[in-house]
A and B are shown apart, each in its own frame.
Chain A
């Protein structure tokens, strides 16, 4: 496979984790401007585990996911009384505070004559896992896609269980949800924590693939992109955010000749698209309708 294509595809796969994490928060009715922080925390933890502690990639990624989940849970607990714009802004502040922490995190070691470890604004260089294990870009793409598919399988089985419908009810109409005996706080906390795990895991892969990470990469722009992918793609199914990622990165890459004007065209197109499909392309109604059609035909 073409190296360039493979690296674009890998990037799309990694950003898909971020978009899915934004999706999980949107499902329970909240907007987060802070998912990039969990992505960044996951990246730093996985990088430290593999490059500094020499852990196996499996444990490195797991640690990244757990780190992301813990930060998300902490945020969820602190903001337990908030919703709407209050929640959104507090996620933004929390993310910027975490990024500030990364900006001041210095813990370097010399390993085989190379200085590695977080070094303030300079970031974390020489995350050499893919070189040491002789991974080609395509090998890494395969790894990332496999992880994404596993995540999708988990999310789809969640989608088929009543949990996801309960979460959507909590998100759309908390009063109705309570009248059905659902505890909104529990749903929100679990989904926010899960979203942190997903983002942290994606961040871990991101660190391994990029071999260098720095706090500036995890600014609010990254998070808002993930959020926008989820909304554009639609909240009907986990496929939605993937479609959003594909539309943005995939299509934009294919119209390279227009590079200079691409955001002008694309930004307008997205706003225009949302006029006609305010719930995103793959809206919950669309999914529900497709599901019942499918069932009618196959029962």
Chain B
């Protein structure tokens, strides 16, 4: 029974990791870029929401809306300053370091908004209940549902609309898509906005489940997102979702068996093993080889 309870907890948490992983996979899958400032954007959105809460007085729903809008804005800002100028093939490292600089910046802005180390974050209240012998947290169930719905919406957007088709074509082969006239203006901007909205949703759900924000939240969510993406297979959207769920399961089980202290280490160890044994991740994406000409015709 304990196993089952732990697994269900893991899946609940994993669904928010899936959203974090999806944000990274969207950006990496389509633009081959890593946004180190991702977590800082989340922290900024949450800080802005808490800061504005007494002024707006909209309660939990206010937090929800402002967090998402704040994260999306920060994400768009990061794209304009750090990624749009470095869109050439060799710009990846530069863009990543630029996003690191902006991470520092957003961190500082967040701590100006919220000077104390911890701040309460009041989520939407949902009653908890027992389902047979399993305890279900109402808010986590709600989050699970929200995560599933947003993944579904993203799927529909990418696979059932023209914009989605163009985005996927660009992801497959930027040059070919360009030749076919499928250039999406502001593609990067749209991707970052989407990633920001997903990230904002995840931030709201994680923070309201925890009940508080600390300055470490930024780094933490960057880690979780990156790891969820890596486990699933870099760049694969489906992989990121599965990776997030697996991450949640592994964490809760490792925490239950070995204690909280070992939880993160088990994750890092697992990711390291996945990388050196099966670098393509569980979904087996084959873009990792260093010496193959398959990616580049000479």
A and B touch in the complex (CB under 8 A): yes
Tell me whether A261 and B108 are in contact (CB under 8 A): yes
> In the complex where A86-B234, A271-B101, A278-B91 touch, is A81 in contact with B226 (Cβ < 8 A)?
no
Tell me whether B279 and A89 are in contact (CB under 8 A): no
Nearest CB in chain B: distance from A78 CB, A: 5
Q: Does B93 contact A (CB under 8 A)?
A: yes
Q: Which parts of B20-63 form the interface with A (CB within 8 Å)?
A: 28, 34, 36
Nearest CB in chain A: distance from B105 CB, A: 3
Q: Does A96 contact B (CB under 8 A)?
A: yes
> In the complex where A94-B272, A96-B265, A263-B108 touch, is A81 in contact with B288 (Cβ < 8 A)?
yes
Q: Which parts of B155-196 form the interface with A (CB within 8 Å)?
A: none
Tell me whether A267 and B94 are in contact (CB under 8 A): no
Count of A-B residue pairs with CB < 8 Å: 129
Q: Which parts of A211-266 form the interface with B (CB within 8 Å)?
A: 220-221, 224, 227-228, 231-232, 260-264, 266
> In the complex where A90-B275, A270-B101 touch, is A263 in contact with B94 (Cβ < 8 A)?
no
Tell me whether B290 and A81 are in contact (CB under 8 A): yes
Tell me whether A31 and B96 are in contact (CB under 8 A): yes
Instruction: Give Cα A221–Cα B227 distance, bound, in whole angstroms.
Output: 17
Give the chain B neighbours of A184 by CB distance below 8 A. Answer: 290-291
Instruction: Give Cα A220–Cα B91 distance, bound, in whole angstroms.
Output: 22
Nearest CB in chain A: distance from B259 CB, A: 12
Q: Does B210 contact A (CB under 8 A)?
A: no
Tell me whether A231 and B93 are in contact (CB under 8 A): yes
Give the chain A neighbours of B28 by CB distance below 8 A. Answer: 85
Q: Does B119 contact A (CB under 8 A)?
A: no
B269, B275, B290: the one contacting A174 at CB < 8 Å is B290
> Which of B9-17, B79-87, B128-136, B237-245 contacts the other chain?
B79-87
Give the chain A neighbours of B282 by CB distance below 8 A. Answer: none
Instruction: Give Cα A284–Cα B100 distance, bound, in whole angstroms.
Output: 22
Tell me whether A89 and B271 are in contact (CB under 8 A): yes
Tell me whether A83 and B290 are in contact (CB under 8 A): yes
Q: Does A268 contact B (CB under 8 A)?
A: yes
Give the chain B neighbours of A266 by CB distance below 8 A. Answer: 101, 104-105
Give the chain B neighbours of A174 by CB distance below 8 A. Answer: 290-291
Q: Which parts of B259-297 form the interface with A (CB within 8 Å)?
A: 264-265, 268-269, 271-272, 275-276, 279, 288-291, 293, 296
Q: Does A100 contact B (CB under 8 A)?
A: yes
Instruction: Give Cα A263–Cα B99 distance, bound, in whole angstroms.
Output: 13
Q: Does A275 contact B (CB under 8 A)?
A: yes
Give the chain B neighbours of A290 by CB distance below 8 A. Answer: none
Q: Which parts of B75-119 form the interface with A (CB within 8 Å)?
A: 81-82, 85-86, 90-94, 96-109, 112
Instruction: Give Cα A271–Cα B279 distance, bound, in whole angstroms.
Output: 31
Q: Does B198 contact A (CB under 8 A)?
A: no
Nearest CB in chain A: distance from B264 CB, A: 7
Secondary structure at the B interface, as helix, strand, loop or mixed, is helix
The residue in B100, B103, B219, B234 that gathers the most chain A C-beta atoms within 10 A of its C-beta is B100
Q: Does B230 contact A (CB under 8 A)?
A: yes
Q: Chain B, interface size: which category?
A: 35 or more
Tell me whether B85 and A96 are in contact (CB under 8 A): no
Instruction: Give Cα A263–Cα B106 distance, bound, in whole angstroms.
Output: 9
The residue in A85, A97, A232, A275 that gathers the most chain B C-beta atoms within 10 A of its C-beta is A85
Tell me whether B102 and A79 are in contact (CB under 8 A): no
Tell me whether A228 and B100 are in contact (CB under 8 A): yes
Instruction: Give Cα A261–Cα B108 distance, bound, in whole angstroms.
Output: 7
Instruction: Give Cα A264–Cα B157 distance, bound, in whole angstroms.
Output: 36
Give the chain B neighbours of A85 by CB distance below 8 A. Answer: 28, 34, 234
Instruction: Give Cα A266–Cα B109 distance, bound, in whole angstroms.
Output: 12
Instruction: Give Cα A227–Cα B104 distance, bound, in whole angstroms.
Output: 14
Instruction: Give Cα A182–Cα B40 distance, bound, in whole angstroms.
Output: 41
> In the complex where A31-B93, A82-B288, A224-B36 touch, is A267 in contact with B101 (Cβ < 8 A)?
yes
Tell me whether A227 and B97 are in contact (CB under 8 A): yes
Instruction: Give Cα A195–Cα B231 distance, bound, in whole angstroms.
Output: 28
B34, B98, B109, B276: the one contacting A271 at CB < 8 Å is B98
**What are the 9 A-B residue pairs with the smallest beta carbon separation, nearest first?**
A267-B105, A270-B101, A263-B108, A93-B272, A231-B97, A267-B104, A83-B290, A275-B85, A271-B98
Sample 29 A-B pairs with CB under 8 A, ordered by A number.
Answer: A31-B93, A81-B289, A81-B290, A84-B288, A85-B28, A85-B34, A85-B234, A89-B230, A89-B275, A93-B275, A97-B268, A97-B272, A174-B291, A184-B291, A220-B219, A227-B100, A231-B94, A263-B107, A264-B105, A266-B101, A266-B104, A266-B105, A267-B105, A267-B108, A268-B81, A268-B105, A270-B97, A270-B98, A271-B102
* Chain B residues within 8 Å of A, Cβ to Cβ: 28, 34, 36, 81-82, 85-86, 90-94, 96-109, 112, 219, 226-227, 230, 234, 264-265, 268-269, 271-272, 275-276, 279, 288-291, 293, 296, 298
Interface contacts beyond A93-B269, A93-B272: sample of 6 additional A-B pairs, CB < 8 Å, sorted by A: A81-B276, A89-B226, A96-B264, A270-B101, A275-B81, A278-B86
